[in-house]
Structure 1
Amino acid sequence: MIDILELNMKNKVVFITGGARGLGAGLAAKVISKGGKAFIVDLNAEAVFAQVETLGGEGIAGCQANVCKPADLELAMAECKERFGRIDVVVVNAGILKMGSIEHMNPADFDAVMQVNVNGAFNTIRAAIPYLRETKGYLQVISSLAAAIHTPLMGHYAASKAAVEALADVARQELALDGIDVGCVHPTFTNTAMIQEVNAGVLWGGHKGAFGAIEPEQVIDAMYRGIEKRQRKIIAPKTIAPLVLAPGLFHRVAEGLSRMQGSEQALKKFKAEEAESLTRR
């Protein structure tokens, strides 16, 4: 039996920011396996070229690009179209995560997260519009459960992902007249290199949050289905849907679950170490 998804993705071109590792790299591999073509961009040029070589074949290409620089994205999308002839889907995936309390947070860290996660998303969406207008394509923006449920030590990340969700919602309404559909992805924490780097330290004192992390494949599959069906809201896993769709009703529940799992002790430990680190500077 022929896979319907394979028919739908045959020769479709998907442009992915943050495509050299994690969810972006996994999605690129999935797209290619279904007969599509992927163009990946990332700040790390060596990682881009390594991923292109790993995936191999005529269906993968990429280049270095800094999503904080609009000119980089314009050049990258022009290169994608020159290589593959069109852009059907743009996935706004590039993002960074830092940890810190609001009291002791380095303003430079706050600015860095907002620059990459929010300004980078804005720059990518703007650059994508002319290409997606030509193909009546699909824009997929990666937000997070953190946009809805706000966790201690992640003020900058939560704020950035809430802003990204707002950008996606506005873009959906503005671009509908051009035949462009917009989807927003809300995964819980995912067991990618970025999250592993955070958990590797003493940041949480062993506390993993109220909802834990899921494997990347779950999120990649959800992202891919979202592209194929041009969905407006993609939630992974589906069990967190109430938290994403009605966060106001569940904030107290989430906070209670987190406390039951030791978040207050972890937070005290982190803040004490954070303050001690500042006094040593």
Structure 2
Amino acid sequence: MTVAVVTGAARGLGALMAGKLAERGIKVALLGLEPEELALVAEKCGDGAAWWTVDVTDDTALAAVAAEVKERYGRIDIVVANAGIATGGPVEFSDPATFNRVIQVNLMGSASTARAFLPALRESKGYFFQIASLAALCSAPMMAAYCASKAGVEAFAHSLRAEVAIHGVGVGVGYLSWTDTDMVRGADQDAALRDMRNGLPSPASKTYPLEPTVDRLVAGLLRRRPHVYGQWWLPAMKVARPVIPAVITRQSIKLLEGFEERWKAAGANTRLVGAGGAANVTKHEE
């Protein structure tokens, strides 16, 4: 029996990854903040799937859930650190609490997830799969919190891989471009952010369908690869990484002033985007 834990499993990327793993006979433990959504995903994942409501930034609660998952299944072989949120807008006008929350969930939440589940992964010589993003390779304006968090989780995963290799634990990083999820659709509700993104150099401006992206990620995950790409062209972005900041800066000089003014005129919305962001706000305010 193989057991996989997926954080941020209530919807979008995490939910579909859990479903694809379950299709391959893997027992899935679903972690997230939305109990009704988690229950629906667990039902679709079939017998053996179970879910826990937990905030990945709550180390005590996460450690307790890790113990419960281990007790239920007897082992944990795969952990997918997928939980993530996003906000948009210029740093100067950002809400400090929202900006910091993105860093806390995306980066610190991944570290907390690893800390909670590594003892079980050491026992099984398992695999920790960190969801990063094109944002780790290509930092865009008006996305500083998200880009910083995803660059952070990429570096975190590389450090973790070096630490745990001696114990037989593998660590992979998953990269994906803009993908059709609630988070991206939520960001696109802000016209200025949407148009700014569409102004990025191709192919980084396109939104990609979710299922093929997840199929690529799951295939690489099951092969325990150190780097997995949701779109075929993303490895080239790693090669071009040294020149990307200059390209993005030149593009921003041409376009950003108009986008910034439009964003402020529309109300300078600094919310967490998408339904997952709303769920995080609700949980954080409790």
**Where on the TM-score scale, by shorter chain, does this alignment land: which range?**
0.7 to 0.9
Mapped pair 1:107 → 2:96: yes
Structure showing greater relative contact order (alpha-carbon pairs closer than 8 Å, 6 or more residues apart): 2
Distance 1:274 1:149, change over 3 A: farther
Q: Secondary structure at the match of 2:93?
A: coil
Retained in 1: the 8 A contact 2:187–2:194?
A: no
Corresponding residue for residue 72 of structure 2: 83
**2: distance between equivalents of 1:230 and 1:86?**
18
**2: distance between equivalents of 1:72 and 1:218?**
33
Mapped pair 1:266 → 2:259: yes
Distance 1:275 1:70, change over 3 A: closer
Give 1:118 deviation, angstroms: 1.1
Retained in 2: the 8 A contact 1:16–1:93?
A: yes
Retained in 2: the 8 A contact 1:92–1:121?
A: yes
Give 1:45 deviation, angstroms: 2.1
Quick one: which of 217, 222, 226 aligns to 1:232? 226
Corresponding residue for residue 108 of structure 2: 119
Letter in 2 for 1:42: G
Q: Deviations over 1:72-123 (max 9, x none)?
A: 2112222222222210000000000111211101111111101111110110
Stretch moving more, 134-143 or 77-86: 77-86
**2: distance between equivalents of 1:76 and 1:155?**
31
TM-score in terms of structure 1 length: 0.87
Q: Secondary structure at the match of 1:16?
A: strand
Mapped pair 1:13 → 2:3: yes
Distance 1:224 1:108, change over 3 A: same
Q: Secondary structure at the match of 1:98?
A: coil
Stretch moving more, 24-33 or 239-248: 239-248
Distance 1:214 1:82, change over 3 A: same
Mapped pair 1:51 → 2:41: yes
- The aligned length equals 265
Q: Secondary structure at the match of 2:36?
A: helix
Corresponding residue for residue 5 of structure 1: none
Distance 1:72 1:201, change over 3 A: same
Distance 1:134 1:154, change over 3 A: same
Corresponding residue for residue 250 of structure 1: 244
Corresponding residue for residue 184 of structure 1: 173
The Cα RMSD (Å) is 2.1
**1: distance between equivalents of 2:178 and 2:132?**
11
**1: distance between equivalents of 2:71 and 2:151?**
34
Retained in 2: the 8 A contact 1:205–1:266?
A: no
Give 1:276 deviation, angstroms: 10
Distance 1:206 1:174, change over 3 A: same
Give 1:205 deviation, angstroms: 5.5
Corresponding residue for residue 36 of structure 1: 26
Letter in 2 for 1:265: G
Retained in 2: the 8 A contact 1:49–1:63?
A: no
Letter in 1 for 2:76: I
Retained in 2: the 8 A contact 1:101–1:271?
A: no
Q: Deviations over 1:51-78 (max 9, x none)?
A: 21233x3231111011010122112222
Q: Secondary structure at the match of 2:75?
A: coil
Retained in 2: the 8 A contact 1:141–1:164?
A: yes
Q: Secondary structure at the match of 1:53?
A: helix
Corresponding residue for residue 159 of structure 1: 148
**1: distance between equivalents of 2:244 and 2:194?**
25
Corresponding residue for residue 281 of structure 2: none
TM-score in terms of structure 2 length: 0.86
Give 1:245 deviation, angstroms: 4.3
